[in-house]
Amino acid sequence: MRSVLKIVAAVALLAGTAVSASIPTFTQSQIDSGEAIRQLGKIAYDTAMARAAKATSGCTKDKIKIRKEWRNMTLPDRKAYQEGIQCLMQKPSRYKNIKGAKTAWDDYGVLHYYQTPFVHDDATFLLWHRHYNWVLEQDLLKICGYTGVFPYWEWGLDCGNMDKSPVFDGSEYSLGGNGEFVKNHRAAIGGAKPGSGGGCLKTGPFSNFTVNIGPSEARDPLAYNPRCLKRDLNDDVCRKWSSLRNTTDLLLSTSTVAVFQSAIQGEGVRGDNGKNFGTGVHSGGHYSISGDPGSDFHFSALEPGFYLHHGNIDRLHFIWQNLAWETRQTISGTNTMYNMPPSAVAVLTDNMGFEPLHRNITIKDAMDTVGGTPLCYVYEPW
């Protein structure tokens, strides 16, 4: 295994195109420890803030929201965020024709269920989910009055100690604990050891939460089907596919958006120098949480940890873009999963669907987190 990975001008999206930032050379130790991704995050943060500093309207530097890793949030913000989610779980649904959707929180499951075939393994995966998280942030503010930080979860900091993670340790300031241990159960993803839970949450916030819709294999997935929230925290999945090395390799070995979005989703694409990304950090993060609905491709958005997980996916995209900003405001692919059924090649003026939760926006509107139409945030390195 190489001890040093050099990043040179070839990381530009097009051959011969200059990069936006000077990328350091990292040792394998720096990559594995997280020091490398911390430095890359700082470069991306500074690059985005420099663009905002030049803005005279829209997303000016004084308006930018700073997104933080969960453990770097204040305890009052962690508590208030968690209470904001619980608030949405008490508000009425905006879907009038879906009998199973009882709450504003259920709305996120319904929208993700409907949009799944159009926002995964295609051109809009990264940007649709970016805006999806932003829509939740707006609901938390406008419906439930949450004015604090919007979080992300760096999975690699918890691989090997998932049940000790401040996100899932079951404390007052977490998103609840692991599920009750279930004997002789299988991991939700092939090639991994079983997780350490599998049953209903018994400790901490959301231990009394009722999942109202799903699963996706049900005869009527949107029918009312109340049940407990289950989790199956899985260290083996986290170590194999969501480690600090996994995330850093993703950033350093993907020169085009086509390769980056495929690698992040584990589509079998090879990166620079033949880098193999395996199952991908997207699946790795999801199946590190697992459970019901966490393992459900369509309804995983009903798991409170989903948004911290996708916050980290968006953070990786934010870093990757800002390492070569001039050439990475791009998309690749069509608007259907694996182009099935066949659809037109996506263009920046295509609309992405968010109604009735929010107005639809174009792909281009979600391209820049400090673009101001409507996004205005950056990710603070942990």
Residues in the chain: 382
Residues of the chain with pLDDT under 70: 1-21
Specify burial of residue 289 (Cβ count, 10 A radius: 0-12, 13-18, 19+): buried
Distance between CA atoms of residues 156 and 165, nearest Å: 11
Instruction: Look at strands 4-5 and 26-27 and give their pairing.
Output: antiparallel
- Please list, residue by residue across 205-237, b when 16 or more beta carbons sit within 10 angstroms of its beta carbon and e when fewer do: bbeebebbbbbeeeeebbeeeeebbbbbbbbbb
Bridge partners (DSSP) listed for residue 270: 276
Is the pTM value of this prediction over 0.85? yes
Spatial CA neighbour of 365 closest among 357, 356, 375:
375
Whether 119 and 111 have beta carbons less than 8 Å apart is answered as no
Angle at 359 between CA 356 and CA 365, to 5 degrees: 145
Q: What value, to the nearest 5°, has the Cα angle with vertex 112 and ends 106 and 117?
A: 155
Per-residue model confidence as pLDDT tens digits over 150-163? 999 999 999 999 99
Q: pLDDT value at position 242? A: 97
Q: Tell me the C-alpha distance between 150 and 328, whole Å.
A: 24
Closest by Cα among 378, 303, 381 to 150: 378
**What are the pLDDT digits (tens) for 4-35?**
333 333 333 333 333 446 889 999 999 999 99
Rounded CA separation 377/130 (Å): 11
Cα–Cα nearest to 32, from 8, 2, 68, 11: 2
The Cα–Cα gap between 182 and 232 comes to: 9
Task: Let me know: does 85 contact 105? Beta carbons within 8 Å.
Answer: yes
pLDDT digits (tens, 9 = 90+) for 235-254: 999 999 999 999 999 999 99
Fold of 4-379: di-copper center containing domain from catechol oxidase (1.10.1280)
State the alpha helices, DSSP H only, in the chain: 28-33, 35-53, 75-88, 104-115, 125-142, 235-241, 244-252, 257-264, 281-289, 306-322
36-59: per-residue pLDDT in tens? 999 999 999 999 999 999 999 999
Alpha-carbon span 9 to 122, nearest angstrom: 27
- C-alpha span between 9 and 216 (Å, rounded): 45
| Cβ atoms < 10 Å from Cβ of 135 | 18
CA pair distance 119, 127, nearest whole angstrom: 9
pLDDT of residue 10: 35
